Amino acid sequence: MTHRQHPLGTGSQAASTAEDVLVGIDLRGTNVVVTAGHAGLGRETTRVLAAAGASITVGARDPARAAKALEGIAGVEVGPLDLIDPASVAAFAARWNESARPLHVLINCAAVAPPRELVLDARGYEAQLATNHLGHFQLTQALLPALRAAHGARVVNVSSGAQRFGQIRWDDPHFAKGYDSRAAYAQSKLANVLHALELDRRYTEAKVRGYSVHPGVVVGTTLNGAGGQAGLRAMGLVDDAGKPIIDPARGKKNLQQGASTIVFAATSPLLAKVGGVYLKDNDIAPLDDEQVPLTADSIPSHAASRTVDGDAARRLWDLSERWLQG
């Protein structure tokens, strides 16, 4: 199978920040939508893009809370968006499309914290897949007119190194046969990668490119904090005093470093002629099919042949369309 997972040699480092990768880039006149752009990696992404001149719309379940979190950041507006609710997704996209604004960048950043017990949405879909993947899939499809109108747009799916451990459970995607929270999370993050891959294949000629991103393991986000201090210590993310361990070379980053690859995917001219790739550390991630265990000192996050499989990406796309039909 051919693939595009060939690092470019961008010159950026694992420790580079979002501001580092934006040096010399002027985003005035650029319209951006960021889901959950008011918290964690999303807020840092919003802050840095806005500082470079972008006009940003943040989609959030609680617009009032989001607006408060974004106080002091110019050029940002907030709209209601609940990714697990198809009507909310449709309404958000309709408001944007009615504004007749082109959309240059869509950053699908929101994710639900992995619940310990099985949670289903109103359609009977597992909550992590429904939110992390399907809600963003619906949003992206609904915003395609605005993305096309930009005549050069990017869709950035914030994935995770967990995609390496993910499996699309074709026969039981919603865990009717038994729930595993980590498996559900990994499935949703693999779905983010496959979505970006197939999006790029379908819409390159329309000048809409797709990217998926591993931001690193960032201490302080909702997802990585779900296990409490004991869980963070077990993952090697905080020391015995509870202080974050920042080690970018091993994938452990702060918010500024974690947001960098998201911003790189959204703006870098180095990606002008390539899409459908999975990124990490401000470059295209290499392909590595070696089975490497996850430990506190080793966080595997490269691409693997099966996670950038075009056949799987097309199959998931078709299945996602059927899910949207109920």
Sheet holding 153-158, edge to edge: 76-80, 55-60, 31-35, 105-108, 153-158, 208-214, 277-280, 283-284
Q: 145 lies in a domain?
A: yes
**298 versus 147: which is more confidently predicted?**
147
The residue-averaged pLDDT of 70-96 equals 98
Q: 87 lies in a domain?
A: yes
pLDDT above 60 (res 217) = yes
pLDDT above 90 (res 237) = no
Q: How confident is the model at residue 228 (pLDDT cuts 50, 70, 90)?
A: low
Q: How confident is the model at residue 193 (pLDDT cuts 50, 70, 90)?
A: very high
Query: pLDDT, tens digit, for every residue of 41-80?
Result: 999 999 999 999 999 999 999 999 999 999 999 999 999 9
Q: 98 lies in a domain?
A: yes
Residue 153, φ and ψ in degrees, nearest 5: -120, 160
Placement of tokens 């989001």 in the chain: 66
| Rounded Cα distance, 116 and 136, in Å | 23
**187 versus 220: which is more confidently predicted?**
187
| Rounded Cα distance, 162 and 274, in Å | 23
Q: Total structural domains in the chain?
A: 1
* Residues of the domain holding 202: 18-324
Q: 2 lies in a domain?
A: no
Q: How confident is the model at residue 37 (pLDDT cuts 50, 70, 90)?
A: very high
Q: 297 lies in a domain?
A: yes
Q: 7 lies in a domain?
A: no
pLDDT reported for residue 293? 82
DSSP H helices, 11-143, are 18-21, 40-51, 63-69, 86-98, 127-128, 136-142
Question: Do β-strands 277-280 and 283-284 pair in parallel, antiparallel, or remain unpaired?
Answer: antiparallel
| Rounded Cα distance, 140 and 211, in Å | 13
In 7-84, beta strands by DSSP E: 31-35, 55-60, 76-80
**316 versus 231: which is more confidently predicted?**
316
Placement of tokens 């992404």 in the chain: 45
**pLDDT, mean over the chain:** 94
pLDDT reported for residue 231? 65
Query: pLDDT, tens digit, for every residue of 248-257?
Result: 998 999 999 9
Q: 5 lies in a domain?
A: no
The residue-averaged pLDDT of 92-98 equals 98
Q: 255 lies in a domain?
A: yes
Residues with a known catalytic role: 185
The residue-averaged pLDDT of 38-42 equals 97
Q: Which CATH number do you get for residue 43?
A: 3.40.50.720
pLDDT above 90 (res 3) = no
